[in-house]
Amino acid sequence: MKHYRLDGKKLVECSLMEWARSMDSPERIMRVTYLNVFLDDYRLADVRVSTVFLGINHGYGEKPLYFETMVFGGVSDSLCVRAPTYDDALANHEHVLNKVCQAHFKAKRLLTKELAVIMPTQEQTLTISKKEAIK
């Protein structure tokens, strides 16, 4: 089994020990978004969408998959999407985040003031209430 670490956006093959050290590094965490979902003043769910570098191929078919976006909490808990490249993983993060919002509000599209400026930093918290949802 081959092991990889990140050098910027590039995958670099490395030893098992280098891989293990890189898995303990904050650089492997690409993006984390926290959603606090409310219905009026009632808190429905706390959701975390996380995108990380795995460092080993999790694509057991034709396409190698080295990155993972996963949902923790809420109605989409355990939703997992994997990607072959750094840029695809970031696109998956935004796509999954929008899917999570749609699942919570059963709307075709959900936009809020916070979501309009999505992903400015690696880690962020969004508070979304049904009153702010725009279909």
pLDDT digits 0-9 by tens, 54-85: 999 999 888 999 999 999 988 888 999 999 99
Query: What is the pLDDT of the chain when averaged over all its residues?
Result: 79
Cβ burial 26-59 (10 Å sphere, 16+ → b, else e): eeeebbbbbbebbeeeeebbebbbbbbbbbebee
**Per-domain boundaries in the chain:** 27-132
pTM: 0.76
Query: H-type helices in 16-70, by residue range?
Result: 16-23
Terminal-residue alpha carbon distance, the chain:
47
Q: Is the pLDDT of residue 120 over 90?
A: no
16-52 pLDDT per residue, tens: 999 999 999 888 999 999 887 766 666 667 889 999 9
